[in-house]
Amino acid sequence: MTQRIKIALMALVFSAGLAGLAAANPLEAGMDAYQRGDYAAAMSLLRPLADNDDPAAKYTLGFMFQNGLGVTPDQVLAASFFHEAADLGYAPAMVNLGAMFETGAGIPVDKVEAHKWYSLAIKSLKTPADATARDAASANRKALAARMSESELADAREAAAAWRPK
């Protein structure tokens, strides 16, 4: 074989290998696109995963809609994605959902729901790498609790205790 044909075959094999890797881990490919700021590629890679209940994909799409990253900002859609990811037990989504319930961004203000989601996030965020998110959820929950009645706090604790991931 000539050198040119060998190089072309190597490029073809390399490209096929990359396609296989992307297909083997589309979440990683979608997250890489997101990190690069290629939000159109991230959306096209993550949306099918989100539609198939991947909580990290749902969370990332929620963040994109919350912040208008490659899409028109849409707080209602962001809250929906966060809620779906949180329902699946994804702790980062729980923190964001708690904040949205607390502030009424995209959903009605609901202090009980906000407290519940903060509490669930705190319980789920256990590793040292989770410390920043856990600290934020703890601070938010503490500040929120100061504005809640005893009855609301009891309802929030009961809701958190009864919650189970889907």
**Rounded distance between C-alpha atoms, residue 115 and residue 36, angstroms:** 34
Q: Number of structural domains, the chain? A: 2
Indicate if 102 and 166 belong to the same structural domain: yes
Write 135-142 long-range contacts (CB < 8 A, 24+). Answer: 136/95, 137/94, 137/95, 137/98, 140/95, 140/98, 140/99, 140/102, 140/114, 141/98, 141/115
Report pTM: 0.84
Indicate if 95 and 34 belong to the same structural domain: no
Indicate if 88 and 12 belong to the same structural domain: no
Predicted pLDDT at 24: 53
Indicate if 28 and 106 belong to the same structural domain: no
Indicate if 93 and 165 belong to the same structural domain: yes
Which residue positions in the chain have pLDDT lower than 70? Answer: 1-24
- Residue 112, in any domain of the structure: yes
- Residue 21, in any domain of the structure: yes
Indicate if 84 and 36 belong to the same structural domain: no
Indicate if 79 and 42 belong to the same structural domain: no
**Rounded distance between C-alpha atoms, residue 156 and residue 108, angstroms:** 16
CB 70 within 8 A of CB 43: yes
Q: In terms of residue numbers, what domain contains 112?
A: 74-166
Q: In whole angstroms, what separates CA 34 from the centre of its chain?
A: 12
Question: Backbone phi, then psi, for 165, in 5-degree steps?
Answer: -65, 150
- Residue 140, in any domain of the structure: yes
Predicted pLDDT at 8: 33
Indicate if 44 and 89 belong to the same structural domain: no
Q: What is the DSSP letter of 100?
A: H
Indicate if 48 and 79 belong to the same structural domain: no
- Residue 60, in any domain of the structure: no
Residue ranges of the alpha helices (H) in 25-130? 26-36, 39-51, 55-67, 75-87, 91-103, 111-124
Indicate if 4 and 46 belong to the same structural domain: yes
Predicted pLDDT at 18: 37
Predicted pLDDT at 142: 98
